[in-house]
């Protein structure tokens, strides 16, 4: 057994109840995913150790996804521990939808967004195409709150799909600060009791240099929201209004906070797996590979910042630096790859981190 395999099995064996054979397959999947940069099982099978025929390796992976179910909630705790994210953090809510043949794959995902990291944390595979409903969003947030305290969330950011009076009341009642983009046709009930759409409120505002701000109760399906929200709006370069609603005190700052949102760059679209249980298992594998890459980036860069190019953007993302290092180390310096994974890695599962 190589140093890399030993390192991963040491940590993962204490967090996932798997036989030695299944655990070995999980480790091979994580390392293979990093090396091949694909979730296609045919490509991943070529990275399995041993002299068996490719068809046998492929069948081994098929059996893994057929019989193994990895606990996504336990993964969330492991991600926070591995990336040392105990301090309050920004969460981003997003959804992605694509088709495999005639089958819709629709994932509602909660991710951690920091200055360096963008990593999936919890998700739900929706049984339909299109937008999530309020009940599904609340259920996902309840899963988070069962694992972590509400004080662990510095802010939740989300796009226009995730608007709604009942949903934002739930967040406010659970002490979760949020910044969510609003649709221009949504209605606010102001202090004087009159209801206005954002389109009417902003009709005479230029909003390019000085954002328009205000507060009120967002109109819901059956009644206005119980908790008031602030809003801020500014015109973008294409003349479209960017409107955000927030329960934070400074609505102007919320416009900057909204920039921290994260759109899912789904890594599963190269798979042919359709089963929700199997896809969820694959997402756990992808997330573990991402965590490993981020740890390699930290080992490579330390406290240094990534150099900016003349246009102002970073030369590379933190993830790309880590992935490049990880792929190189697995092949040429396995002790570095193993050390990046093991450094301060939790060898005992922790049920509920104290934030």
- Predicted TM-score (pTM) of the model is 0.88
Tokens of 29: 């999947």
Pair 248, 172: CB distance under 8 Å: no
Distance between CA atoms of residues 300 and 296, nearest Å: 6
Continuous H helices in 148-275: 165-173, 198-201, 251-257
Residue that has been written with the tokens 């983009």 in this structure: 181
Contact 91, 135 (CB under 8 A): no
Cα gap 98→90, rounded to integer Å:
26
Q: CA 70 from chain center: how many Å?
A: 17
- pLDDT of 133: 92
As a whole number of angstroms, the distance between CA 312 and CA 67 comes to 48
Task: Classify the phi-psi angles of 207: left when phi > 0, otherwise alpha if psi is within -120 to 50, otherwise beta.
Answer: left
Query: Can you give the residue ranges of every domain in the chain?
Result: 3-70+276-342
Whether the CB-CB separation of 12 and 284 falls below 8 Å is answered with: no
Q: Report the sign of the C-alpha dihedral through residues 122, 124, 125, 130, in that order.
A: negative
- How many whole angstroms separate alpha carbon 123 and alpha carbon 120? 8
Nearest to 119 by CA among 316, 319, 315: 319
Q: For tokens 């999530």, name the residue.
A: 132
Query: Which of these, 9, 134, 144, 1, lies nearest to 72 by C-alpha position?
Result: 144
Tell me the pLDDT of the chain (355 aa) as tens digits.
688 999 999 999 999 999 999 999 999 999 999 998 888 888 888 888 788 888 999 999 999 999 999 999 999 999 999 998 889 999 999 998 877 777 778 899 999 998 888 899 999 999 888 889 999 999 999 999 999 999 999 999 999 999 988 999 999 999 999 999 999 999 988 888 888 889 888 887 765 667 888 888 888 766 678 899 999 999 888 888 999 999 998 888 999 889 888 766 555 656 667 788 898 999 999 999 999 999 999 999 877 777 777 777 777 788 899 999 999 999 999 999 999 999 877 765 544 433 3
Residue 344: predicted pLDDT: 73
Rounded to whole angstroms, how far apart are CA atoms 183 and 303?
40
Question: 47 — phi, psi (to 5°)?
Answer: -100, 0
- Locus of tokens 């193994």: 68
Pick the closest to residue 108 from 168, 176, 158, 181 (CA basis): 158
Between the alpha carbon of residue 328 and those of residues 45, 50, 300, the distances in Å are: 19, 21, 12
Q: Of 115, 111, 31, 108, nearest to 76 (Cα)?
A: 111
Q: Are 243 and 233 in contact (CB under 8 A)?
A: yes
């Amino acid at each position: 057994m190589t140093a890399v395999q030993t390192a991963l099995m040491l940590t993962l064996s204490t967090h996932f109840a798997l036989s030695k054979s299944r655990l070995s397959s999980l480790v091979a999947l994580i390392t293979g995913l990093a090396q091949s940069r694909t979730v296609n099982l045919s490509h991943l099978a070529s990275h399995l150790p041993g002299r068996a025929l490719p068809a046998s390796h492929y069948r081994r992976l098929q059996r893994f996804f057929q019989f193994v179910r990895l606990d996504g909630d336990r993964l969330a705790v492991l991600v926070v521990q591995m990336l040392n994210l105990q301090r309050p953090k920004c969460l981003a809510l997003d959804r992605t939808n694509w088709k495999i043949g005639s089958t819709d794959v629709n994932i509602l995902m909660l991710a951690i967004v920091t200055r360096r990291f963008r990593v999936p944390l919890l998700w739900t595979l929706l049984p339909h195409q299109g937008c999530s409903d309020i009940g599904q969003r609340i259920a996902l947030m309840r899963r988070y709150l069962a694992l972590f305290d509400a004080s662990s969330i510095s802010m939740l950011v989300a796009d226009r799909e995730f608007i709604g009076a009942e949903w934002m009341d739930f967040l406010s009642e659970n002490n979760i600060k949020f910044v969510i983009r609003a649709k221009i046709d949504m209605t606010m009930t102001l202090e004087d009791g009159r209801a206005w759409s954002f389109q009417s409120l902003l009709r005479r505002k230029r909003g390019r240099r000085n954002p328009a701000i205000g507060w009120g109760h967002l109109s819901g399906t059956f009644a206005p929201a119980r908790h008031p929200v602030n809003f801020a709006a500014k015109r973008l370069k294409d003349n479209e209004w960017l409107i955000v609603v927030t329960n934070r005190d400074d609505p102007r700052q919320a416009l900057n906070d909204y920039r921290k949102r994260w759109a899912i760059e789904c890594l599963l679209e190269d798979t042919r797996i359709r089963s929700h249980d199997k896809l969820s298992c694959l997402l756990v594998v992808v997330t573990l590979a991402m965590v490993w890459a981020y740890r390699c980036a930290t080992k490579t860069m330390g406290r240094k910042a990534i150099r900016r190019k003349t246009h102002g953007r970073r030369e590379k993302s933190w993830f790309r630096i880590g992935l490049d290092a990880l792929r190189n180390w697995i092949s040429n310096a396995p002790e570095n790859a193993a050390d990046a994974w093991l450094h301060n890695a939790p060898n005992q599962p922790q049920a509920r981190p104290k934030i």
